[in-house]
Structures are given as structure tokens and as C-alpha cells.
Amino acid sequence: MTALLEISDLACHFPGRDRAHAVRAVDGVSFSIGAGETFALVGESGCGKSTTGRLVLRLLEPTRGTVRFDGVDLLALRPEALRRRRRDMQIVFQDPYASLDPRMTIEEIVAEPIEVHGLVHTRRQRHERVAELLELVGLPADAASRSPRQFSGGQRQRIGIARAIGPNPKFIVADEPVSALDVSVQGQIVNLLQDLQERFGIAYLFVAHDLAVVRHIAHRVAVMYLGVIVETAPVASLFAAPHHPYTQALLSAAPEPDPDAPRTRIILQGDVPSPMDVPSGCRFRTRCPIAQDLCRETSPAQVEVAPGHHAACHFAAPNPITPAG
């Protein structure tokens, strides 16, 4: 698969109380996303996954690393060139209530990016394009004259998606796009994203913490912990045989479609360390039930444990976790 997006050693450090205690929100992340692929980034709150999405789009400026999109180094682009490139890269935000300006009509909201990029030139063109976009996301054309407060959360997220697909992007960051919605609506939005991907070939960076949603929509998954990626795999491989102890713990807590399936819940001890004071060696070692002296001394490298399946663990194995002796 041809890589549309290539991320290498991407990091974002925010100022802390002093130079030695910077907040290492993202600290050396690398991955690629193919054209038309859904790549999911999962992990607990505060692990850096949403920050990574914003770094990819240069909504935040990275401390180091490279971001290549369609062969172009985004970090080297000047503002005007970056603005033109943004036509191909859009975002759907987590909160459909906060991401839509209540003072604007739905037509104004959906039309804004297509007008910015010069894709419509008359009021009639704008009206027709907005009606087309609303139809694509399952909303009636007369929604265009209404305001965001007249819609439910699921409908507002559809409006956000219509806005994102307006410029015909190749790539969308979907930042927890269903986490603020009722469970009954989440499936509808996920199915809509998949339908649009099939129709237009859009690639997604899908940021989420709900593994059931990820299992349904993603082609590949990366698991983040404390600013780094600890495991990356095709979705079927990750769910069938997670190799990293953190991934195993996350999956043990996820709802199982078959209630009779045998499972052992893995309870992690302690709290996630502060990104201002990350542990030496493996960042997960302070909570890992199989940590040994090596984990304190050396940070584990990403190792291919199965075709296309990588884990950053000195003792990576698909077996159930058993505490170290």
C-alpha cells in the first residue's frame, strides 16, 4: 500500500516548571497511513493521541520529527503553501456541540472551507454544494437554513463531517468522533465514515479509546502509552494476539461480544506517571506485572513479532500475562 502520510520521530514537548520537567505529551512517534486506510490511535486519556492528530495537521507545532503528506514535507511549508495543502487534510472534532459556531447557519458552517479554498464562486454554487454535502451525510437540504442548536448531537456530528468532506480531502483526522454521542448513534456515525471512505477513498487517522469501535472501523491500530507507541498491528492480529502487556490489559477490559467467552480481567496497579517525569527505560514498567531489571535500564525498541505486527516490549509474547517471579 502506498503511504499517503508518513510520520517519523514526531514529538511535542510543552514547557514545564523548568527545562528538566517539560511535558512530553508526544515523544517520538512514527507510523504511516496508506491511501484509503483507517489507522486507529488508541490509549487512555492523556496518552498523547489527540495531540498527535493535531501535530499531523500542524494545528500544533512539533518539537521535532517529520510529517510527509503525499510526498510533501509539511513542516517545511510556509503559511500560504500550508493553507493550500489543508484542502487535502481536514478534521472532525470530538465535541459536536463545541465545534460548530452557534451564530452561523448550517450552510455557512459547511460552506466555509469550500469558500476558503475557492471551490465555489457564486451563491447558487454554494447552495447546491451544501445541499449535496448534507445529502451525503444523511441530512435534508432544508437543514442548511437552520442553526446548530436545532439539531441533536448525532446530527451535529454529521454536519461536522459534511464540513470536513466539502473540499474533497484525501485525509481526515477523526478525533474521538463518537465518544460524545449516545451508544445508539455511535454506530450510525461509524457506518457513515466507512461509507464515505468507500465512496471517496478517504484515509482516516481515527483517534479513540473505545476498542469496540476501533475493532469495527480500523484496518490497523497503534496503541499509545505516555506519549509513545507500544504496539502497532493489523486490527485482526492485535485483537487476536496482543503482544504488549499494556495492550493485553486494555483488551481484557473491553466488552466482549460473546458473554460466554473465557477471559481474565487484567487490573493494572498504580497510576499513569506524569509526562513531566517519565520513568527510565520502559515507560510502562511501573505498572507492568512482568517488568524486570532490564525494563528499568533500557527502553525497548519496536520489534516485529508477526507479519506487520510490532511491539515495544523486551518480553513481548501473545500469551496471557503472568506476574514476574
Which cell is 268 given?
Answer: 493494572
Any residues with CB less than 8 A from the CB of 203 and at least 6 apart, and which?
4, 5, 33, 34, 35, 36, 37, 38, 39, 170, 171, 172, 197
Q: Residues 306, 233: contact at Cβ < 8 Å?
A: yes
Q: Over its length of 325 residues, how does the chain's per-residue pLDDT go in tens digits? A: 689 999 999 999 998 777 667 899 999 999 999 999 999 999 998 899 999 999 999 999 999 999 999 999 999 999 999 999 999 999 999 988 888 999 999 999 999 999 999 999 999 999 999 999 999 999 999 999 999 999 999 999 999 999 999 999 999 999 999 998 988 899 999 999 999 999 999 999 999 988 989 999 999 999 999 999 999 999 999 999 999 999 999 998 776 666 656 567 787 888 899 999 899 999 999 999 899 999 999 999 999 999 999 999 999 988 544 444 3
First-to-last CA distance in the chain?
43
Which cell is 59 given?
Answer: 494545528
DSSP 80-110: HHHHHHGGGEEEE-S-TTTSS-TTS-HHHHH
The closest alpha carbon to 243, from 228, 255, 233, belongs to: 233
**Residues 209, 261: Cα–Cα separation, whole Å:** 22
- The DSSP bridge partners found for residue 41 are 207, 222
Any residues with CB less than 8 A from the CB of 29 and at least 6 apart, and which?
7, 9, 10, 11, 48, 52, 65, 224, 227, 228, 229
pTM, full prediction: 0.93
Task: Please compute, for residue 116, the number of CA atoms within 13 A of its CA located in the half-sphere on the CB side.
Answer: 18
Return the H-helix or E-strand segment holding 12: strand 3-14
